[in-house]
């Protein structure tokens, strides 16, 4: 009996010793991990750079998207180094990032020293998620090749070719709006954010895919539904961490950025569009025509040499970018512009007069030349992008160690570089009373008096937005058509002041853009 108890005691001692060893090992691992994170988040302190104190492991991301919008964090990062150093430090989780607060340094990064900062560091996965391999994300020679191929598609001449198509969609939009307004006595309350998104979806669906989407009339049209899904569920959890901290591993593991159903839908739509046009020789003078002209499959007997042509997935990715980047940014731009016009009868009146005078000079028609003469509308749109830039932050990544001019500091290779344009656009040094909406900030004289890199909604340099001409054209047309026929005013459902939707990186109004619309 005694020997049995001794055996049990021995077993218990072994288990206790083993458990103790496991606990000690776990504590060592956890302690080492904590020490590693603390050391990683001491990077800027060790280099004497002003920095925003990071949350443990989460860095700047604590609360973003759950309790706070990204914009106040951008302002805080910007102010941390302002007047002390050309850039400050922050942490994307545990990865150090440089936050630029000096427009002269922005100029160097975007233009003068572009060879140090030619990539954005965006995630793309050609094999498992081919639509992400578009111009915005591509790096190195892949980006350079695609940029050179696509640049000729956005000339003023190509914009003139697409102009009638956009106006036709705009007139359909106005017909729908007229029916909606007529149904309400003394005007009606409309969520213009939703309506503008349906308008721009129709425009880009037509120009990029040759599809009559009819989203204005049917908000649940499939094209619109898929458009909404693009940013509804960005990668989160382990997938999001892998994409940010270990993108090469994420690619090998097949991590996707886009929802599978969205990717499959757009690939199918592009394939059907290309096949139909090639089979029937259809020409529409739109963006898809221009892409098909670069498609290797389009060459008789496969005569394309493959080096200066696009394959199908590359074509589909550029068409997808044109849609995804174009409809949301233009829709929010128009919505915020109409919001500010609703709050200022004086500015709205000047804008309507600008539209009327330009159209009168062109026989009452909405011609390309008439639109280009509406300079005050440009000022309104520019001021809207100043106050509400659709994308509040530009990204770059250092390709090699960059000695920062005028300092002893170095932005080391592979360091993300953040240009917080929302914060810069709200800096009273460049824009006095930044919360006031004033289109006269963008008269030629006012622009000449300001640092040219203090206003950057489209970026600048070789990687600036390639589609800015198209985006501005569809925004001018949409705004001009609305002002020519309708008046916008606040209504009981209008939120004043507006708040941003916390969960969105793009500057969406939290509760929609409800305004009263009446016939002029």
Of 5-9, 292-296, 369-373, which range is least confident? 5-9
Backbone phi, then psi, for 461, in 5-degree steps? 80, -165
Binding residues for heme: 465
Note the pLDDT of residue 11.
Answer: 64
Q: E-strand spans in 365-463?
A: 394-397, 402-403, 410-411, 416-419
Cα torsion 459, 420, 400, 128: sign? negative
Find out whether 473 and 371 touch, Cβ atoms under 8 Å: yes
Residues whose CB is less than 8 angstroms from the CB of residue 494 and which lie 6 or more positions away in sequence, other chains included: 339, 342, 514, 515
Known binding-site residues equal 465
Segment (H or E) for 479: helix 468-485
- Partnered with residue 403 across adjacent β-strands are 410
**Do the beta carbons of residue 255 and residue 243 sit within 8 Å?**
yes
Distance CA 293, CA 166 (A): 21
Can you read off the two tokens belonging to residue 400? 């090699």
Distance CA 487, CA 518 (A): 5
Enter the tokens of residue 320.
Answer: 């997808």
**What is 48-519's CATH number, 1.10.10.60, 1.10.620.20, 1.10.630.10, 2.70.98.90?**
1.10.630.10
Torsional class of 282: left (φ above 0), alpha (ψ -120 to 50), beta (otherwise): beta
Q: Residue 189: its pLDDT value, please?
A: 92
What are the two backbone dihedrals, phi and then psi, of residue 349, each rounded to the nearest 5 degrees? -65, -45
Stretch 73-92: mean pLDDT, rounded?
Answer: 96
Q: At what angle do helices 156-183 and 468-485 cross, to 10 degrees?
A: 30
Give the integer Cα–Cα distance in Å for 58 and 37: 10
Torsion-angle region of 97 (φ positive above 0: left; ψ -120 to 50: alpha; else: beta): beta
What's the confidence (pLDDT) of residue 7? Answer: 57
Residues 245-279 have pLDDT tens digits of 788 889 999 999 999 999 999 999 999 999 999 99
Q: What mean pLDDT do residues 28-54 have? A: 93
Tell me the C-alpha distance between 486 and 374, whole Å. 17
HSE-CB at 472 with a 13 A cutoff on CA atoms is: 26
Cβ–Cβ under 8 Å, residues 467 and 326:
yes
Asked if 297 and 203 touch (Cβ cutoff 8 Å), the reply is: no
Instruction: State the Cα–Cα distance between residues 485 and 483, nearest whole angstrom.
Output: 5
Residue 7 Cα distances to 1, 10, 11, 15, 451, angstroms:
10, 5, 6, 12, 83
pTM over 0.75: yes
So what's the pLDDT on residue 184?
61
pLDDT tens per residue, range 461-501: 999 999 999 999 999 999 999 999 999 999 999 999 999 99
> How far apart are alpha carbons 441 and 430 in whole angstroms?
10
Beta carbons of 17 and 55 less than 8 angstroms apart: no
Over residues 189-229, the pLDDT tens digits come to: 999 999 999 999 999 888 877 788 888 888 888 888 888 88
Q: Does residue 3 have a pLDDT over 80?
A: no
């Amino acid at each position: 009996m005694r020997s049995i108890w001794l055996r049990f005691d021995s077993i218990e001692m072994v288990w206790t010793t083993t458990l103790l060893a496991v606990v000690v090992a776990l504590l060592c691992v956890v302690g080492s991990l904590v020490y590693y994170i603390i050391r990683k988040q001491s990077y800027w302190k060790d280099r004497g750079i002003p920095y925003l104190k990071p949350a443990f492991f989460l860095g700047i991301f604590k609360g973003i998207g759950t309790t706070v919008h990204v914009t106040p964090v951008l302002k805080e990062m910007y102010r941390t180094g302002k007047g002390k150093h050309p850039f400050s430090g922050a942490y994307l989780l545990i990865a150090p990032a440089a936050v630029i607060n000096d427009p002269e340094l922005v100029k160097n990064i975007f233009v003068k020293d572009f060879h140090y900062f030619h990539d954005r560091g965006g995630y793309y996965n050609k094999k498992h998620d081919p639509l992400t391999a578009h111009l915005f994300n591509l790096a190195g020679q892949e980006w350079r090749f695609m940029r050179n191929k696509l640049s000729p598609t956005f000339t003023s001449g190509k914009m003139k070719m697409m102009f009638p198509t956009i106006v036709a969609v705009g007139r359909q939009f106005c017909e729908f709006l007229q029916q909606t307004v007529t149904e309400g006595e003394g005007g009606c309350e409309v969520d213009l954010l939703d309506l503008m998104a349906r308008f721009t979806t129709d425009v880009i669906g037509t120009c990029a895919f040759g599809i009559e989407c009819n989203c204005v009339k049917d908000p649940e049209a499939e094209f619109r539904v898929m458009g909404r899904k693009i940013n509804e569920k960005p990668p989160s959890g382990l997938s999001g961490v892998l994409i940010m901290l270990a993108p090469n591993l994420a690619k090998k593991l097949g991590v996707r950025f886009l929802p599978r159903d969205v990717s499959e839908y757009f690939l199918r739509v592009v394939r059907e569009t290309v096949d139909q046009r090639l089979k029937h020789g259809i020409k529409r003078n739109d963006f898809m025509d221009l892409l098909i002209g670069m498609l290797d499959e389009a060459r008789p007997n496969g005569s394309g040499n493959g080096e200066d042509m696009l394959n199908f997935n590359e074509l589909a990715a550029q068409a997808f970018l044109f849609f995804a980047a174009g409809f949301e940014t233009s829709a929010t731009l128009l919505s915020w512009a109409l919001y500010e016009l609703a709050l200022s009868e004086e500015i709205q009146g000047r804008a309507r007069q600008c539209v009327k005078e330009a159209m009168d000079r062109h026989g009452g028609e909405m011609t390309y030349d008439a639109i280009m003469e509406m300079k005050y509308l440009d000022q309104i749109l520019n001021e809207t992008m100043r106050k509400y830039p659709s994308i509040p932050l530009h990204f770059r990544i250092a390709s090699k160690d960059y000695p920062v001019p005028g300092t002893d500091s170095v932005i080391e290779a592979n360091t993300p570089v953040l240009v917080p344009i929302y914060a810069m656009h709200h800096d009273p040094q460049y824009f006095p009373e930044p919360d006031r909406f004033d289109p006269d900030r963008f008269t030629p004289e006012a622009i000449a008096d300001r640092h040219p890199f203090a206003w950057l909604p489209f970026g600048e340099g070789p990687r600036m937005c390639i589609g800015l001409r198209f985006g501005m054209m569809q925004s001018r047309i949409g705004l001009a058509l609305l002002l020519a026929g309708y008046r916008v005013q606040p209504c009981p459902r209008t939120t004043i002041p507006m708040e941003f939707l916390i969960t969105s990186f793009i500057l969406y109004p939290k509760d929609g853009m409800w305004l009263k619309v009446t016939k002029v």
